Amino acid sequence: MINIIGIGPGNLNYLTKIGENIVHKSDVLIGGTRNLDSFNDFDGEKVEIKGSLKKIIDYINENKDKNISIIASGDPSIYGIGKYMVSELGSENVNIVSGISSIQYIFSRIGMDMNDIYISSCHGKQPDFDYILSHKKVALVTDNIIGPKEIAKEIIKRKLNKVMVVGENLSYENEKITIAPCEDIINVDKFDMNVVVIYDEG
Ligand SMILES: C[S@@+](CC[C@H](N)C(=O)[O-])C[C@H]1O[C@@H](n2cnc3c(N)ncnc32)[C@H](O)[C@@H]1O
């Protein structure tokens, strides 16, 4: 059984107790650099995810005797590694532990309910903006290619009346949340790792 632990948005105070216990009973932690760095006190083996995820599957198959946990940011089932691992290993062979998604976190920070939100991603793909922007309340994970400025341009192009929220480095010390019209977002120099919420004005 492979554990897939959602560690929350980043600050380990948001890691669930059950996730923490499983991590500390593991022989091996697999994860991205940022996530692995958060577990300084873990004294087992650490395997960094670099490049193809297929290499991780190979590692898992070659180390069946070890107790392995994959640590994933936010919730593994929200645009995370959960889907890929289930498709490769089968749901009966994975133990997914939910974490607080960066999307859940930002809604709490801005005091807005998540009822009827549409969740999507710009991470590593070309989104269908006509469809996304037809929803009243949207939350998007982003990447370096399609981020807040590109999203704002798509909203302006369609002459839509929307407000944008950009949550950068959520839960970390340098967290920054900007709530602004799209016209202001396009003038911002640069955004760090972020999620975007878009809602109808008024
Ligand atoms: C592959 S997705 C993983 C999403 C994750 N499963 C979740 O539930 O938050 C990676 C994207 O999540 C968002 N993200 C994750 N952690 C974040 C944080 N602490 N602050 C802002 N955005 C974050 C960013 O858009 C980042 O590019």
75 lines ligand 1 (CB under 6 A): yes
Question: Where is the domain boundary, 100, 130, 156?
Answer: 100
**Ligand 1 atom nearest to CA at 103:** 9
CATH of the domain at 74: 3.40.1010.10
Model confidence band, residue 124 (pLDDT cutoffs 50, 70, 90):
confident
How many percent of the chain have pLDDT more than 90?
Answer: 96
Atom 16 (ligand 1) nearest CA: 9
84 shares a domain with 7: yes
Ligand 1 center from residue 182 Cα (angstroms): 21
**Number of folded domains that form the chain:** 2
Could you tell me the residue range of the domain that residue 188 belongs to?
Answer: 103-200
109 shares a domain with 91: no
118 shares a domain with 61: no
Q: How large is the average pLDDT for residues 109-122?
A: 96
Residue with more model confidence, 169 or 126: 169
Q: What is the DSSP string of 156-199?
A: HHTT--EEEEEEESTTSTT-EEEEEEHHHHTT-S---SEEEEEE
pLDDT tens-place string over residues 3-15: 999 999 999 999 9
pLDDT tens-place string over residues 135-168: 999 999 999 999 999 999 999 999 999 999 999 9
